[in-house]
Structure 1
Amino acid sequence: MTDHAMESLLRPAVELYTVGVCAGAAALCLHSPWAVALSPEIGAGMAVAYTAFGLKRLNEARVVLRYRRNIRRLPRYSLTSRQIPVSNKRLFMGRGFLWTRLHTQRLVEAQDPALARYVNQSAAYQCARRLERALEKAPFALSRLAQFTAWDSPFNPVRPLPPVGGSPLLHGVEPHEGEASLPLGERVGHTLVLGTTRVGKTRLAEVYITQDIHRQKPEVVVVFDPKGDADLLKRMYVEARRAGREKEFYVFHLGWPEISARYNAIGRFGRISEVATRIAGQLSGEGNSAAFREFAWRFVNIIARALIELGRRPDYLQIQRHVVNIDALFIEYAQQFFAHHDPQAWEAIVQIEGRLNEKNIPRHMIGREKRVIAIEQYLAAKRIFDPVMDGLRSAVRYDRTYFDKIVASLLPLLEKLTSGKTAQLLAPNYTDLDDPRPIFDWLQVIRKRGIVYVGLDALTDAEVAAAVGNSMFADLVSVAGHIYKHGVDHGLPGVYSSAEKLPINLHADEFNELMGDEFIPLINKGGGAGIQVTAYTQTLSDIEARIGNRAKAGQVIGNFNTLQMLRVRETATAELLTNQLPKVNVQTRTLVSGATDTADPDAHTDFTSSSQDRVSSTAVPLIEPAHIVSLPKGQMFSFQEGGQLWKVRMPLPQSSNDDAMPKDLQELANHMRESYNANAGNWWTSAGGAPTVDFNPETPPPTRKRQY
């Protein structure tokens, strides 16, 4: 087959004719060698020769038959979480092959209308599907027939295809698939996974996260889940427990604060100015809003510096309290400052406060407390200089009405982060020893090689989810800068900084919902600190719409070295991959026939005819956007390692007997399923079902507190 100008696998398996002849000839040579004028010894030798040649042709026929079968239906591929291979050098993706010019050639050939009988399903298959539709509401006796034709078993000759859609051609063009993987060294260049809704992005994330949890050297695993996928949470905990790392497992969930860990996004910093940057960075900086954002940054920075001088750890609740009423902070800081530098100042301040009335209060200080005005006048008279005090004085000297207007853009953000029970999670009380919910920060998690699930409850409140996600990303950028400069263990007693990087695997599902300006430096410079981002989203337009700037969206995309694309519905998204691929030459065959008569009556030839097979070469794209749009669920193209294109199908999950969770996490997962309907449209359930947990649907929402 390989000696011809064109490979042809979509054809009758004519090799079987040779196999039949060889089998008959071998039998004849063994049973009746005299019939072909052979001695018994020579007949036995000829039988061996015929058998060897027949086996060779049988193997060639097997290749053709296997190829024709795969074109219509791929073999089932499913794994339990225990069967997912874990390597310290490569990241397992599934089964697949390196896409080359040969596969493009086979794909072009399979689309030939003359070969449709090998590509389309058989008439019996189509008849069985029509029968199932016709008997859908038939009496029970007849409906049994439909159940038989729909039986999902290899013994069913008209077995239905798995509900994955798409074109099986795209993976069936390679009958000899193998294990597809990505070198771990490539992950630090970050990975972008694109795919429309319900095509397997979360399942792919489960495969990657399972490996990250189980590696020989424990790695940090952080998962951002805006939707709140109960199966993903369950999978993470089960794998952490199986790896013996459940003590390092944290659950942070905005929708279930009763059992969530607590986190202060602005409680840890290298420089005080980072507090203001993380808060004000989430405000709009477009057009006239830029000036208001700069003022908000300065005002938050003044408050943060004062809180640090007072010995307090900043949090969103304190920032909001003092944005609304800066007077209390000004008085409190003045008390501490005068107690150390001018103990006699309060007597003079009290005297000034007693002389104040509506007539001698400056116009710009109207509405302020009299004590604030007295302190301001005393400081102006004494000419005392202190950086923090000067900042607070500049804030209180603003006209109250004007001040409220210029902080108007800051207050909605702080309200989002401090309303209801969210405040308990984002502004934890460090002195409350009766609260068993742990408080974590990213540097602590990294040092412990922790596993963190972050559920942002975006389906309930997308605004708060985006604000919290941006805060966490900003905090991670700060931690990455610290690790890049000093190492993970810098500052610990008896520990010296190590040049070895600790892999920090950051999985961001629906990351377009969380992304802000903080995400760009995280993927741009985070690799130097060992952060390996795997981001999952639907389309390029999602990224651009979230950022609001096409150039910045391109900047984000340009920082992902590995691109993995499942089925997408946007042509521009598909072209992100196809435009980076070269064109290849494929061969096409053309049948040419003709006849020519002669006008010479004396000629001995009345006409001439000719029949030709012409093989020509044409340049076509390696793959086209239409191929990506027609991918089945659970399959993807992976563009990796600087230009290699892999065609991959991920394993379908199989349930196992060790999927056990604590009671309160079971309750959380149960209510996540009910609230978010996370299992709607799970395409893999036909392969044995996604792992499930048995718990009582009548159980009330989780209220018991527990530490993980």
Structure 2
Amino acid sequence: MEALLRPPVELWSCFTAIAAGLLALLAPWALMMPPGIAAASSLAFWGFGLWRGHQAWRVLRYQRHMKRLPEYRIAADRVPVSQHKLFLGKGFRWTQQHTQRLRDTLKPEVQRYVQPGALYHWARQKEVAWESIPGLTLLARLLRSRSRWNLLAPLPPVGGKPALHAVEPHEQPVWMDLGERVGHTLVLGTTRVGKTRLAELLITQDIHRGDVVIVFDPKGDADLLRRIYAEAKRADRLDDFYLFHLGFPELSARYNAIGNFSRITEVATRIANQLPNEGNSAAFKEFAWRFVNIIARALVALKRRPDYQQIRRYINDIEPLFVEYAGYCAAIAGIDAWASLVEERAADIKERNLPNALRGRSMEAIACMRLLQERVIYDPVLDGLISAFKYDKTYFDKIVSSVGPLMEKLTTGTIAALISPDYQDEQDARPIFEWMDVVRRKGIVYVGLDALTDTTVASAVGNSMFADLVSVAGHIYKHGVASEQAGHARGGDLDASGHGPGQSSMSTLPTISLHADEFNELIGDEFVPLLNKAGGAGFQVTAYTQTWSDVEARIGSKAKAGQVAGNFNTMLMLRVKELDTADMLTEQLPRVEVFSLMSVSGVDDSSDPGSGVDFKSRNEDRISVSEVPMLTAADMVTLPKGQAFALLEGGQLWKIRIPLPDSRGDAAIPSDFEAMADAMRRSYITNDHWYRVTDHWWHAVSETTSDSSEQVDSP
């Protein structure tokens, strides 16, 4: 049993001992001591007084922190960075003792040690009442000041219950082993409680550690962007920093969301996954997938990289692609003068003799179809194009109508040039980045999706990026990153060192730190394999969201949401407002025993008139033991801003305080967004071309046109 919420009675013995020591030193005759013994006694008294004073100071500090914790800031250039540990802040390991102390703060008789006093509440009332009264305005301003000289200063605007952290007066730096990050980390917390500031702390360490850093920020937090830019500059990695932001297309780098893949079918999957799949929509989604897959296979066979612009064009009108691919197939078959043959046959076609489904179609396309059928030229892609071409135009538009609005959103305005870049446009100096190149260069990528402006586009681009990353993870796992063609050139044979594909480069796997803020806006079917399969490729995901219900609503299935949650081995929970979310942490904790002290007094009258005892009285202190949860959901709701509970390394519970970033006087942080934009525009001026067509890649691509399940190297 502890008694820290009580008057500091140690002060009496402290002052008494110090006074006795002074008396012994200055007037030894008063204590009838010779000078030598008096000096020794004085030292003994003072030693005892200091010991009791230390005990009193422990009680006073404990009680002071119950009302107001000291501010915790760290300058950006002072954030500790380790190659083996991840710094999370200051805190302590939560045990039964802290649960006991927390329950002690709920007793009515100790509230004056936990809650601010009457004078504090009077100051808060007067600072508002006197705010507009002439002559008292200055006094109200002084009461409102947070200066250390103001004894009635208002509490920091962090809310919550400081006692949750004050139950342990001795903090220590909290570190997490980097080996645990491969098991992925989940950060939960409601709005404006410090999730993004925690992200800044973790990202800062990842950048200085030399990791590949990828940050997804759906809402586009300007402070987070500035911090990433500043840390990249401080770590001398600004040349490898890429900004992709849908809200600032003139500043953003460019990215082809469907141009990189391991299998050609990924193109259709990334687009079709953005379509609704409930009820009747599921059938239309399958039709959309089929026709997008046909178009993508044809584009790849024609040595053209798929993008949203081309998919949209040929979904609306597939005839030009069919005619172009027919010429390609004729050239492979060795048919001479194909253009003349098509022109002659087109001149002989009469529209009145055509079936209803082909009326209104291009005569050139009909001629190509008939000539190919007569020559018995078979090609899987060509067969699919002919099948799509033979549909009635009105019917075809109906069955692919679900994909039309999505493609319109993705190819409208300045965003189209970002996610469907023109690789041959030498006038556009904005770089085009690809994930494999980012991994090789150990780059830093900030992805701002501007979800507040258009949620659909943000979700589609984000999910396509995740799908691309899963494909890259598979490639890295099999073949490493030293050479993109290492595993393909030999067709899976052993390399010179006797290792199979990918084995020789496993020891050099990069560390890819992926931070997904507001990941409930991004999560889809692509995110699950990134969690449960990409760890072997060096991916370590840190996901941030407000409530777990957001994730369940996004996925649409509680079972799938549970599958996602099961892939996060580490959990950090800031203040949450949903009890079900709080239960995700509290239900994993054991129950502990706490002790309660109860005073009992009573009187018994004597019933024996001949006895000399008239009554009996007794006074007792009884200690009772009860079993309670180590933490409750209510504790999660009352966490102050910037504080969190963390389940680390196999369920160890830590209470931590996240340091506030201290950017005062930090020259690395640009004063405004425009200053950063100007610097990035200068760094984006480049004369090199990102897009290089290699014979090996096109050879691999051409092989896929004969079999839709054939694996294709990532462009």
The TM-score with structure 1 as length reference comes to 0.91
Question: Structure 1 pair 276/664, CA: closer, same or farther in 2 (3 Å)?
Answer: farther
Distance 2:304 2:285 in 1: 25
Distance 1:313 1:36 in 2: 100
Per the alignment, residue 329 of structure 2 pairs with: 337
| SS of corresponding position for 1:187 | helix
The Cα of 1:475 is off from its aligned counterpart by 0.7
The Cα of 1:665 is off from its aligned counterpart by 4.7
- Asked whether the equivalents of residues 14 and 61 of structure 1 are also in contact (C-alpha less than 8 Å), the reply is yes
- Asked whether the equivalents of residues 251 and 677 of structure 2 are also in contact (C-alpha less than 8 Å), the reply is no
User: Aligned to 2:73, which of 38, 57, 78?
Assistant: 78
User: Aligned to 2:286, which of 281, 294, 303?
Assistant: 294
| SS of corresponding position for 1:180 | strand
Per the alignment, residue 451 of structure 1 pairs with: 444
Deviations 1:182-241 (Å, cap 9, x if unpaired)? 2111111111111111111111111111111111xx111111111111111111111111
Per the alignment, residue 24 of structure 2 pairs with: 29
Question: Structure 1 pair 185/703, CA: closer, same or farther in 2 (3 Å)?
Answer: closer
Deviations 1:296-322 (Å, cap 9, x if unpaired)? 222112111111121111111111111
Question: Structure 1 pair 153/431, CA: closer, same or farther in 2 (3 Å)?
Answer: same
Per the alignment, residue 64 of structure 1 pairs with: 59
Per the alignment, residue 680 of structure 1 pairs with: none
Per the alignment, residue 661 of structure 2 pairs with: 653
The Cα of 1:108 is off from its aligned counterpart by 0.6
Q: Which amino acid aligns with 2:254?
A: R
The Cα of 1:348 is off from its aligned counterpart by 4.1
Asked if residue 439 in structure 1 is aligned to residue 469 in structure 2, the reply is no
Per the alignment, residue 182 of structure 2 pairs with: 188
Unpaired stretches in structure 2, ≥5 consecutive residues: 487-495, 497-501, 687-715
Distance 2:71 2:225 in 1: 26
Per the alignment, residue 179 of structure 1 pairs with: 173
Asked if residue 582 in structure 1 is aligned to residue 598 in structure 2, the reply is no
The Cα of 1:287 is off from its aligned counterpart by 3.0
- Asked whether the equivalents of residues 230 and 670 of structure 2 are also in contact (C-alpha less than 8 Å), the reply is no
Per the alignment, residue 93 of structure 1 pairs with: 88
The Cα of 1:660 is off from its aligned counterpart by 4.7
The Cα of 1:346 is off from its aligned counterpart by 4.3
- Asked whether the equivalents of residues 93 and 180 of structure 1 are also in contact (C-alpha less than 8 Å), the reply is yes
Distance 1:282 1:668 in 2: 34
User: Aligned to 1:593, which of 593, 601, 613?
Assistant: 601
- Asked whether the equivalents of residues 417 and 464 of structure 1 are also in contact (C-alpha less than 8 Å), the reply is yes
- Asked whether the equivalents of residues 572 and 646 of structure 2 are also in contact (C-alpha less than 8 Å), the reply is yes
Matches of residues 67-466 of structure 1 in structure 2 within 5 Å? 67-139=62-134, 141-215=135-209, 218-341=210-333, 342-466=335-459
- Asked whether the equivalents of residues 233 and 668 of structure 2 are also in contact (C-alpha less than 8 Å), the reply is no
The Cα of 1:521 is off from its aligned counterpart by 0.8
- Asked whether the equivalents of residues 231 and 669 of structure 1 are also in contact (C-alpha less than 8 Å), the reply is no
User: Aligned to 1:9, which of 4, 9, 23?
Assistant: 4
Deviations 1:18-64 (Å, cap 9, x if unpaired)? 11221122223223333333322222222222222222211111111
The Cα of 1:664 is off from its aligned counterpart by 9.3
Distance 2:509 2:149 in 1: 53
Distance 1:631 1:669 in 2: 37
Question: Structure 1 pair 663/492, CA: closer, same or farther in 2 (3 Å)?
Answer: farther
Per the alignment, residue 516 of structure 1 pairs with: 524
Deviations 1:363-391 (Å, cap 9, x if unpaired)? 33233212222222222222111222122
| SS of corresponding position for 1:93 | strand
| SS of corresponding position for 1:188 | helix
Per the alignment, residue 475 of structure 1 pairs with: 468
Please, which moves more after superposition, 362-371 or 59-68? 362-371
- Asked whether the equivalents of residues 437 and 705 of structure 1 are also in contact (C-alpha less than 8 Å), the reply is no
The Cα of 1:596 is off from its aligned counterpart by 0.8
Deviations 1:341-375 (Å, cap 9, x if unpaired)? 21144444333322222332123323321222222
Unpaired stretches in structure 1, ≥5 consecutive residues: 1-5, 671-692, 694-701
Distance 1:89 1:339 in 2: 59
- Asked whether the equivalents of residues 259 and 704 of structure 1 are also in contact (C-alpha less than 8 Å), the reply is no
Q: Which amino acid aligns with 1:455?
A: G
Distance 1:669 1:182 in 2: 35
Question: Structure 1 pair 518/337, CA: closer, same or farther in 2 (3 Å)?
Answer: same
Asked if residue 554 in structure 1 is aligned to residue 549 in structure 2, the reply is no
Percentage identity across aligned positions? 57
Per the alignment, residue 484 of structure 1 pairs with: 477
The Cα of 1:706 is off from its aligned counterpart by 4.2
The root-mean-square deviation of aligned C-alpha atoms, in Å, is 2.1
Q: Which amino acid aligns with 2:243?
A: V
Deviations 1:646-675 (Å, cap 9, x if unpaired)? 1111112222334456799526779xxxxx
Question: Structure 1 pair 39/213, CA: closer, same or farther in 2 (3 Å)?
Answer: same
| SS of corresponding position for 1:439 | coil
Distance 1:424 1:664 in 2: 26
Distance 1:206 1:669 in 2: 20
- Asked whether the equivalents of residues 76 and 661 of structure 2 are also in contact (C-alpha less than 8 Å), the reply is yes
Distance 2:559 2:472 in 1: 26
Please, which moves more after superposition, 43-52 or 629-638? 43-52
Distance 2:673 2:481 in 1: 31
The Cα of 1:172 is off from its aligned counterpart by 0.8
The Cα of 1:543 is off from its aligned counterpart by 0.5
Q: How many residues are paired up?
A: 670
Per the alignment, residue 50 of structure 1 pairs with: 45
Distance 1:593 1:136 in 2: 52
Deviations 1:81-103 (Å, cap 9, x if unpaired)? 11211111111111111111000
- Asked whether the equivalents of residues 230 and 669 of structure 1 are also in contact (C-alpha less than 8 Å), the reply is no
| SS of corresponding position for 2:505 | coil
Q: Which amino acid aligns with 2:656?
A: V
Question: Structure 1 pair 548/667, CA: closer, same or farther in 2 (3 Å)?
Answer: farther
Please, which moves more after superposition, 340-349 or 318-327? 340-349
Matches of residues 586-625 of structure 1 in structure 2 within 5 Å? 586-625=594-633
Deviations 1:541-588 (Å, cap 9, x if unpaired)? 111111111111111111111111111111111111111111000000
- Asked whether the equivalents of residues 299 and 305 of structure 2 are also in contact (C-alpha less than 8 Å), the reply is yes
Per the alignment, residue 690 of structure 2 pairs with: none
Please, which moves more after superposition, 194-203 or 296-305? 296-305
Question: Structure 1 pair 244/704, CA: closer, same or farther in 2 (3 Å)?
Answer: closer
Question: Structure 1 pair 115/669, CA: closer, same or farther in 2 (3 Å)?
Answer: farther
Please, which moves more after superposition, 485-494 or 312-321? 485-494
Distance 1:63 1:660 in 2: 41
Per the alignment, residue 677 of structure 1 pairs with: none
Please, which moves more after superposition, 343-352 or 453-462? 343-352
Distance 2:279 2:530 in 1: 25
Distance 1:583 1:464 in 2: 46
The Cα of 1:416 is off from its aligned counterpart by 1.7
Distance 2:644 2:332 in 1: 67
Question: Structure 1 pair 707/112, CA: closer, same or farther in 2 (3 Å)?
Answer: farther
Distance 1:104 1:110 in 2: 10
- Asked whether the equivalents of residues 234 and 669 of structure 1 are also in contact (C-alpha less than 8 Å), the reply is no
The Cα of 1:79 is off from its aligned counterpart by 1.4
Distance 1:531 1:551 in 2: 24
